[in-house]
């Protein structure tokens, strides 16, 4: 798969299975554990320089989940610098360095059918990601990815208290198929915590 140079756009949709656990210490009877079906839509724009190993990528996500009969939505955004290393004739490692903004849904209640309150925790921090792209042929390939999101600061919490710094991560494996010289499609699996 030819490596991109210049401007490019990404669009994706993930069908998600969310395993949710929370304890609200302000309400001692709120210890929720449930699974929910959801989805995340992503749009992004990037630039890979034809004269340098550096590039840029900005993305925005909108996610949602259905719990009981209610829908809950949350958003995120990232701005990254990209550094590319060519690995042999068929591989490329892309490292990303940047900042992120994430919204985390907090549901309060006794059970998933007795949710009494929904809040958004809004956090920011640095982001590091690595993607390894490998071409099996001129059309087929795969991508492995790993992303680290240390939540170091808050923008908003329900009680206006500081957050406890924590690390969120993602790992994924995707197959890729080049539809034409301008469009490559990917499908696969990702795990995020």
* Rounded Cα gap, residues 57 and 9, in angstroms: 9
Terminal-to-terminal C-alpha distance of the chain: 30
In the structure encoding, which two tokens stand for residue 72, read together?
Answer: 């809950």
Q: What is the pTM of this model?
A: 0.85
The one-digit pLDDT tens for each residue of the chain (193 residues) are 455 678 999 999 999 998 888 776 666 666 778 888 899 999 999 998 888 899 999 999 999 988 877 888 999 999 999 999 999 889 999 999 999 999 988 887 766 667 777 788 899 999 999 999 999 998 999 999 999 999 988 888 877 888 888 899 999 999 999 988 888 899 999 999 8
Q: Provide DSSP, 44-94.
A: EEEEE-TTSSEEEEEEEEEEEEEETTEEEEEEEEEEEEEEEEEETTTEEEE
């Amino acid at each position: 798969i030819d490596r991109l140079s210049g401007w490019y756009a990404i669009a994706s949709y993930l069908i998600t299975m969310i395993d949710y656990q929370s304890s609200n210490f302000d309400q001692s009877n709120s210890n929720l554990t449930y699974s929910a079906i959801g989805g995340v839509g992503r749009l992004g724009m990037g630039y890979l320089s034809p004269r340098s190993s550096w590039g840029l990528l900005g993305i925005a996500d909108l996610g949602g989940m259905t719990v009981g009969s209610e829908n809950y939505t949350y958003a995120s955004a990232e701005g990254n610098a990209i550094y590319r290393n060519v690995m042999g004739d068929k591989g490329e490692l892309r490292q990303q360095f940047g900042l992120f903004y994430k919204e985390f849904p907090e549901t309060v209640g006794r059970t998933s059918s007795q949710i009494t309150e929904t809040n958004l925790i809004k956090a920011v921090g640095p982001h590091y990601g690595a993607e390894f792209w490998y071409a099996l042929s001129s059309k087929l390939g795969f991508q492995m990815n790993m992303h680290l999101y240390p939540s170091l600061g808050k923008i908003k919490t329900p009680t206006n208290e500081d957050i406890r710094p924590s690390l969120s991560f993602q790992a994924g494996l995707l197959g890729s198929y080049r539809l034409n010289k301008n469009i490559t499609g990917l499908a696969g699996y990702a795990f995020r915590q």
